[in-house]
Every structure is written in C-alpha cells, then in structure tokens.
Structure 1
Amino acid sequence: MQTEKVVDHIVNWLKEYATNAGVNGFVIGISGGIDSAVTSILCAKTGLDVLCIEMPIHQPASHVSRGREHIQKLKNNYGNVTDKLADLTPVFEAFKAEVSLDGTQAVVDMALANTRARLRMTTLYYYAGLKGLLVAGTGNKVEDFGVGFYTKYGDGGVDLSPIADLMKSEVYRIAKELDVPASIINAAPSDGLFGDARSDEDQIGASYPELEWAMNMKESGKTADDFDGRQQEVFNILSRLNTINQHKMIPIPICEIPTYLK
C-alpha cells in the first residue's frame, strides 16, 4: 500500500465531500482506539472544522487517558480541532432505571452495550446539527464488511466512512504514517462497550490478522473444507458472523407494494 498517497486520497475525498455538502467539517467520537485516532487526524488534515467528542460511560481509565492524550496532540498540531466532553454515564444510568432488565445476564449486557453506542450516536448527531458538521465513522473493512462488529444505529450510524475500505493492518500502517501515539497503536483493540477490559478478540474469538486472512480466503472462493484446525475455526467464525450480521451491511428491506394493489 502506498500509505502517503492513500492518506492524501482520503483527505481529498473528505474535503470534497464536505464542501459539496455545504457543511463546516466533521464531528467524531474519540474512544482511545486506533480507528478513531486515525480518522480524526485524516479529518483534521482537511483544514475544515473538526470537533472531537469524548463520551465516557463507565469507561476504563486506560481508554480515557489514551483518548485525552490523542486529543491534546491533535489540538497541538491542528488549529481547526476543538473538543468536548459529554459524560454520558448519568444518562446511561437514568435509562437503565426506566427500562426492564429482565432476561439472561448475557442478553441484558449485550442490549445495554448496544445502548451505549446508540447514546453516543445521538450525542454526535446533536453536535453535528448544532454546528453544521458531518458525523465521521470510524469503522474499518474487517468490522464493517467482514464480521459486522458494530452497533446498528450506534457506531454504525454515520454520514460517511473514511477508512471503511481499509483492512485493520492497513489502518495500523496509516497510524504510523500519521504519528498516532504509541499508547494507542500498542493497545489491544476494544469497543469499550462493556465497561471492562475485554478486547475485540475476546468477543469475536479471533484476532484481526486472522480475520483478514479469512476474508481474503473467502473472497478468493475458498470454503471451510479447504482448511483444518485453527484455520478452519477462524474461517467459520468469519463466515458465521458475516451471515448473521448481513442485516447491518445491506440496505433496509422495503416492502414494495405491487402496482395493481395501489
């Protein structure tokens, strides 16, 4: 990958899209992870307004410190970057107090994790509306089109996706090109939706390098029967998640009414 040229391409694409849309720039949620770090720098390099928002909900201290380190460095390097802190923990707790928490613990935990992501999406669009900004998505190709590892109408609710055609390994290469803090590059990827230290790999059951391999094999026409052992296990993980999460990746189904019924 021609990293520097890819960076320039994305920055130009962002700037052209925002200009054509008649908006002032971008708003992005900062998580302390590599995807939001890379995306926010790419947005900042457009020269347009960039609003970085921290939205902790019982967040681990390490996530918070990495996010703040990144935002400070971003503001030092780019005069078009501002930031906001929206502590959503009280909002989240108020929501929990008003809804039923019946069900198995695993089901409740997952529903609440997705609720965190949707509260953050609502916050981003609130500020986007106030300031005439676009919500920039932070999903990469593995998450968005491989395993569907995001929340529908949560972190999947965005106006545009600058890095969604990049594999996770390519995001890391761009992160090094953009001088993202080492604390972020070296951290285990995590969605931070459960308020603990569990990583993406803990949840998915496979690492990003493994998932990239499986995506490439699947796209080349391979099937699970072509592999055995761990390779077959990873291939099946990707295939299963890709299948059950198709509802996130395809347009919302529309019931089309036949003309003769109208």
Structure 2
Amino acid sequence: MNTKSVTPHIVEWLKTYAENAKVSGFVVGVSGGVDSAVTSTLCALTGLDVMCLEMPIHQTESHVSRAQEHIEQLKNRFPNVQSTRVDLTPVFESFKSEIDLEGSTIMVDMALANSRARLRMTTLYYYAGLLGKLVAGTGNKVEDFGVGFYTKYGDGGVDLSPIADLLKSEVYDLGRALEIPESILTAAPSDGLFGDSRSDEDQIGASYPELEWAMKEVENGKTVDDFEGRERTVLEIYSRYNAANKHKMNPIPVCEIPQNLK
C-alpha cells in the first residue's frame, strides 16, 4: 500500500467532512490497539482539535499502559490533541448490580462485554456533544465488513469511519508510517472487552492475515468446497461470522407501509 498517498487522502477526507459538518474536530476512544492509534493520529494530522478518551473497565495493565503511551506521544507531537481519562469501572459495576445475571455463563459474559462497548460509546458521544465534535470510528475493513467483529451501537456507533476501507495489514502499514509506538505494533490485537488478555484470534479462531485471505477468496467467488485443511477451516470460520453478523453490516430494516394501507 502506498502510505504516502493514502495518509493525506484520509486526512483531507476527515478535515473536509468535519468542516462541512461545522464541528471543531474529533473524539476518539484510545484502547492501546493499532486501530485506535492510527485513527487518532490521522485525526491529529488534520490540525483540528482531537480529544482522546481513555475509558478503562477492569482493563488489563498492558492495554492501559499502551493507551497511555500512545496518548502521551500524540500530545507531544501535536498541539491540537487533548486527552481525558474516564474510569467506567464503577459505572459498569453499578450497572451489573441492577440487572439480571441469570442464564448461560457464556451468554451473560458476552452480553456484559457488549455492554462495556456501549458504555464507552455513550461516553464518547457525551464528550462529542459537549465539545461540538464528531466521534471517529476505529473499525477496519475485516472487522466492519468481513466478520462483523464489533459491538452494534458500541464501537460500531460512530459518526464517520476513516479506516474502514483498510484491511488490518494495511492499518499496520499506516501505523508504521505514522510512527505509532512499537509496543502497539507488536501487541496481539484484542478488543479488551472481557477484562483479561484474550486476543481477537483467541475469540475468532483465526488470525487477521487468515481472515483477510478468506475475505479475498469469497470476493473472488470461492467457497469452502474449494479448499481443504486449515484453509477450509478458516473459510468456514469467516463465512460463519459473516453470515451471523450481517445484521450489523446491513442498514436497519424498515417496515414500509403500502400507500393503500395508509
């Protein structure tokens, strides 16, 4: 990927969108991962105001330290970047104390993980409204349009998505070009929604390079019957996630009322 061309293209797109929307800049949730690091850096390059939010909820120390390292580096590089830390752990615990936690452990854990993402979305929009800014999404193409590996109305609830047309490998290419911290570039991708160190690959069962391969094969018309062994397994994983998460990728269905019924 030609990062020297792609970077200014995204930066100009962000700047033009914000100016047309008549807002002063962007709010970005910084998690310690490569996607949020690249997104926040691209936003900073616009010269518009950027508010980076750190929003821990029982976060592992490695996630916290990487997020803080990136934010400090970004503030040292760009005078238009500010940051704040909102500890959502007490809010999350209060929420848990008021809801029904009965049922399958797996289902409860997943519902709580998604609730963490939605608490963060609410916080991002609070600051966006308060400061007159847009919430910049951090999802990449594989997550947003391949396997749907994000929370609906959580990290999927954003105003604009600057890196959603980039594969994960391309996000890493940009990250290296943008000189984000090495600790982030070498860390295993993780959504950080379970309060432990499990990676995205642990949850999905396939790595991002494998998922990118599967996404391209499907786009070329290939099916699981065209492969054997690990390739077949990866394509099955990709296809299963893609099918199950279509409701996230497609527009919200609207019940259209025929004119003769109105």
**What TM-score comes out, normalization by structure 2 length?**
1.00
> For residue 141 of structure 1, what is the aligned residue in structure 2?
141
**Aligned equivalents of 2:223, 2:43: Cα separation in 1:** 39
> For residue 5 of structure 1, what is the aligned residue in structure 2?
5
Residue 134 of structure 2 aligns to a residue whose secondary structure is strand
Q: Deviations over 1:39-84 (max 9, x none)?
A: 0000000000000000000000000000000000000000000001
> For residue 119 of structure 1, what is the aligned residue in structure 2?
119
Partner amino acid, structure 2, of 1:137: G
> For residue 58 of structure 2, what is the aligned residue in structure 1?
58
- The CA deviation at 1:189 is 0.1
> For residue 246 of structure 2, what is the aligned residue in structure 1?
246
**Aligned equivalents of 2:216, 2:245: Cα separation in 1:** 18
> For residue 231 of structure 1, what is the aligned residue in structure 2?
231
**Aligned equivalents of 2:96, 2:176: Cα separation in 1:** 40
> For residue 219 of structure 2, what is the aligned residue in structure 1?
219
> For residue 199 of structure 2, what is the aligned residue in structure 1?
199
Mapping of residues 61-72 of structure 1, within 5 Å: 61-72=61-72
- The CA deviation at 1:180 is 0.7
- The CA deviation at 1:89 is 0.1
Mapping of residues 23-172 of structure 1, within 5 Å: 23-172=23-172
Partner amino acid, structure 2, of 1:57: I
Which stretches in structure 1 are left out of the alignment for 5+ residues?
Answer: none
Partner amino acid, structure 2, of 1:180: I
Give the CA RMSD over aligned residues: 0.3
User: Identity, % of aligned pairs?
Assistant: 71
- The CA deviation at 1:106 is 0.5
Runs of 4+ in structure 1 deviating by more than 3 angstroms, as ranges, are none
Residue 57 of structure 1 aligns to a residue whose secondary structure is coil
Q: Deviations over 1:86-106 (max 9, x none)?
A: 000000000000000011110
**Aligned equivalents of 1:178, 1:198: Cα separation in 2:** 27
**Aligned equivalents of 2:243, 2:4: Cα separation in 1:** 34
**What TM-score comes out, normalization by structure 1 length?**
1.00
Q: Deviations over 1:142-175 (max 9, x none)?
A: 0000000000000000000000000000000000
**Aligned equivalents of 2:223, 2:82: Cα separation in 1:** 48
Which stretches in structure 2 are left out of the alignment for 5+ residues?
Answer: none
Partner amino acid, structure 1, of 2:77: N
**Aligned equivalents of 2:150, 2:195: Cα separation in 1:** 16
Residue 252 of structure 1 aligns to a residue whose secondary structure is coil
**Aligned equivalents of 1:222, 1:251: Cα separation in 2:** 26
- The CA deviation at 1:4 is 1.1
